Structures are given as structure tokens and as C-alpha cells.
A and B are shown apart, each in its own frame.
Chain A
Amino acid sequence: MAQSLDQPKESPSQTAGPYVHIGLTPNFCGIGGVYESDLGATMVNERTKGERIELRIRVLDGTGTPLKDALIEIWQADADGLYNSPAEMRGAADPNFQGWGRCPTDMETGLCIFETIKPGRVPFRDGRLMAPHITLWIVARGINLGLHTRLYFSDEEEANAEDPILARIEHRIRVPTLIAERRGNAYVFDVHLQGEKETVFFDS
């Protein structure tokens, strides 16, 4: 026997359930008057630097049916590739851009729309630049632990080709599951939870 390391374990995750909106987007589900607005509903203002883009994201189950009770959060750098976070040591991020957004999937169509800006490139651990990307975190009824993935951009072919995370995907046929397709100033991205087109999810 050795001494106990006596370290607490992370609290185990549980599903967000079908009524996640009550807690995280109460105004969206008709609970008005408690919070002025839903947290993360607006990401940009008129002073935010960068190219305005729209993300149109759906989450599909193993039969290809869109989830109508999921919730997506995104986290991204500003136009210069800086994060608005205390752990960002490289400089001050755009004060008009928090970098975080939250959107429930539409109860009829399953669509999440984020109005945001295209992020700049952020360095990998060894200093090489990663391709522009947005981190996604997805919770819903039936998902026991929030799923992490990334959205990359179809019009960043060169940067995507040298991205150190995309390079780690052994089965190259799966790389396109992380690349959103540009249509005008919108990017369309389907997250497949399961099956042949399953999105690459991260343990990081």
C-alpha cells in the first residue's frame, strides 16, 4: 500500500435532457421575465472586427433525423486569432467579441443559426498555425456527455491541409465531416452523431 493520492474525481456527466431550454435559454421556451435575454444569443455588434458570417448547423441522429431538442455552444477566436479568455496570454482580444455563443436547435426544423465572424488562425502547441476553426459543444436528450468537435471552413483549403488536428485523423475519408460548406456568407454544417457519415468527435 502507498499513500492515497486523495484527489477528487470529476463529477460524472448526465444528459441535459429534453428540457435543457428551461435552464439555458428560458426566453426561447417561453419563460419570460426571469433573465433579460438568453445568454449567448447575440455574438456580434456593429463594432466587432471581422468578416460577418452565418453558421447553419444541424445535428442528426443515427437514422439521419435532425434533433429538435439539442443545444449547441460555440467557442472561437476573434478575427485576429485571439481568444477573449483570462487564459489568453498573447494579447487582448477584440473587446466587442466574447467569442462564445449558444443556440438551441429549432423545435420544428432542427436548425441552429449563429451570426458570428470568421475567426483568425490560432497557434497549435508547437507554434504552427491551426486552420481557422470554431469549437462546438453539443448536448441533448440521449447524449450522456457533451460532445466536442470542430467546424472548419471549405474555403480554407490550404490552411486545412496543414492543420495539425485534421492531420491526426487516421481515416482520411472522415476529414470532410469537420468541414462546413460555404454558401454566400453562410456555412452549412451537419453534425452526424452516428453511422457512416459520423462526425469526428474529440477527447481533448
Chain B
Amino acid sequence: MAEPGSNRTPETGAFFQRDRQWHPPAFTPAYKSSVLRSPQKALLSFDNTLSELTGPVFGHAMIGERDNDLIHNFARPGESAIGERIIVHGRVLDERGVGIPGALLEFWQANAGGRYRHKKDGYLAPLDPNFGGCGRTITGEDGSYAFRTVRPGPYPWPNGPNDWRPAHIHFSLFGHGFAQRLITQMYFEGDPLIWRCPIVGGIRDKAAVEALIAALDMQSTIPMDALAYKFDIVLRGRRSTLFENRPEGN
């Protein structure tokens, strides 16, 4: 079924295989909690069936007016979150370089001092009464998205005796098929903690790490208001059904 109000033809081709040498492997012992949470047996491989090719698609109607504004969506009336005001924007593309419209992005982060609004976070940096830390948006026709927030602070975590996460924003993405489901983290250009982090270090290829570092984007800043970072995200592409006539797509 096509989306209501859309004249796009739905795509039904199978997704390109995931490059699991590019993603971090399951077992990355320097990131200690991966040790007991990583499967040790080989994964079962098969080409996508309808169960992976299909996936939920969310309508713009579910997005509230302030869902993409973390500076204000938890703040008391007339107040705003403390910290370096930034805009994060970019496009959600697939591996063919095509923008993905209607993709749901959800993001979450610590406040400017590195403290999460979560009862399991006992870091001594204080909560900001005007900052919740969650937001969401849906990409436009060209795959573009944007939101406003404060730059999160780095924070210490109980891994090594003195490990600190780089400043980061978590991203969760839905494309059009459940096999495209992805969670990742965005880092900030120039942060020296990136290259010391065991979670980042689970990624073996330097170019793959660089794909998670947002660039400072002066052209998208709002003078006297907010700096901007550009972060494009790529989801799995799908095969064309050209020259294929087997049942259930290809």
C-alpha cells in the first residue's frame, strides 16, 4: 500500500547485504559490557523475505510542534536549556545516495554538563531543570531533517578506571523496511575524546568512524543565536527489481 497522500511507487527490492566488517563487531572487549552480550555463534544468513522488506512507516501527524526543539520541549514557559545552542541537520540517504523521505529519526543526549535525565545516571554534574534530552522528527521529501538542541557534555563512565565518552547524540532511525533499522551515535568535529573511546574504537575502519563525526557548518548557523553541525546518515540501499521476475520481488 502506498502512503496516504504520496504518489511514490513503493520499492520492494531486497536490501543490500550489511558490511559487517564496517560495522563494529559484536565482541569488542575494550568495551567491557560487550563481552557477555555478544553472540559467539555465526549469524544465519538469508536474502530478505517480506518480514524484513516491510516495516512500519510513521506519519508526520505524530510529530508535535516542539519535538525537534530540545532547547524548549522540556523547559518551563519562557525559559530554555543551558548550554551551547546548536542546530543539527543533514539528510538521511540510502547506499545508492538517494534521500529517504518519511524516515523517523529519534535522538537523545545528555545535557551540557554530561548528565542524563535517567535514574540510573548517578554522575555528580547536575540536571538542567529545563532540559529533558529527547527529540524526534521525520525527514522531508529529499530526506532532510533538522533539530535544535544544546551541545551535550562529555561524561565519565564505569568501563576503564578513567574512561570518558566524547560529546555525542544518540540517533535511532527507521527507513522503509525493518531490515534498515539502525541505532548509532553522532560525534562532534575536533573532539579529542573520540579517538580514545572504547565504544568508538569498536569500529575498526577509520573512515567508518569519520562517517559518524558531524562537521561544523558555518553556513547553517543562525548569527547571534546558534551554531550548526551537519550530519548525514546512510541506511541500507535496496536492489532494483529491474530484470528480475521471480515471485515476491527479487
A: residues with CB less than 8 A from B are 6-24, 26, 29-31, 33-36, 39, 61-63, 67, 69, 73, 75, 77, 83-89, 92-93, 98-100, 107, 122-127, 130, 133, 135, 137, 139-148, 150, 165, 168-169, 174, 193-195, 198-204
A21 to B120, CA, bound (A): 11
B28 at the A interface (CB under 8 A): yes
28 A-B contacts (beta carbon < 8 Å): A10-B236, A12-B22, A12-B184, A12-B208, A13-B184, A14-B202, A21-B118, A26-B134, A31-B132, A75-B51, A75-B54, A88-B50, A89-B10, A92-B1, A125-B248, A126-B248, A127-B248, A130-B51, A135-B51, A135-B178, A142-B34, A144-B23, A144-B31, A144-B202, A145-B20, A145-B23, A148-B179, A203-B43
Chain A residues within 8 Å of B80, by CB: none
Count A-B contacts at CB 8 Å: 282
Task: State the 10 A-B residue pairs at the shortest beta-carbon distance, nearest first.
Answer: A23-B108, A142-B33, A85-B54, A142-B37, A62-B36, A100-B56, A83-B54, A203-B43, A144-B24, A14-B185
Chain B residues within 8 Å of A127, by CB: 247-248
A22 to B73, CA, bound (A): 13
Chain A residues within 8 Å of B182, by CB: 10-11, 13, 146
Are B170 and A7 in contact (CB-based, < 8 A)? Answer: no
Are B116 and A19 in contact (CB-based, < 8 A)? Answer: yes
- Of B81-89, B93-101, B218-226, the segment with at least 4 beta carbons within 8 Å of chain A is B93-101
A12 to B208, CA, bound (A): 6
Nearest Cβ on chain A to B222's Cβ, whole angstroms: 23
Interface of B is mostly: loop
Are A198 and B246 in contact (CB-based, < 8 A)? Answer: no
A35 to B104, CA, bound (A): 15
Are A201 and B55 in contact (CB-based, < 8 A)? Answer: no
A16 to B31, CA, bound (A): 13
Are A87 and B46 in contact (CB-based, < 8 A)? Answer: no
Cβ contacts B19-59/A at 8 Å (1 or 0 each)? 11011111010010111111111011111111111111110
Chain B residues within 8 Å of A77, by CB: 51
Interface of A is mostly: loop
A150 to B18, CA, bound (A): 18
Chain B residues within 8 Å of A100, by CB: 55-56
Nearest Cβ on chain B to A195's Cβ, whole angstroms: 8
Are A12 and B24 in contact (CB-based, < 8 A)? Answer: yes
Chain A residues within 8 Å of B44, by CB: 165, 168-169, 200-204
Chain A residues within 8 Å of B55, by CB: 75, 85, 87, 100
Chain A residues within 8 Å of B237, by CB: 7
Are A19 and B67 in contact (CB-based, < 8 A)? Answer: no
B183 at the A interface (CB under 8 A): yes
Are B45 and A204 in contact (CB-based, < 8 A)? Answer: yes
Are A9 and B19 in contact (CB-based, < 8 A)? Answer: yes
Are B120 and A69 in contact (CB-based, < 8 A)? Answer: yes
A91 to B173, CA, bound (A): 26
Chain B residues within 8 Å of A61, by CB: 36-37
Are B64 and A35 in contact (CB-based, < 8 A)? Answer: yes
Nearest Cβ on chain A to B77's Cβ, whole angstroms: 12
Output the nearest chain B residue to A40 by Cβ-Cβ distance.
B56
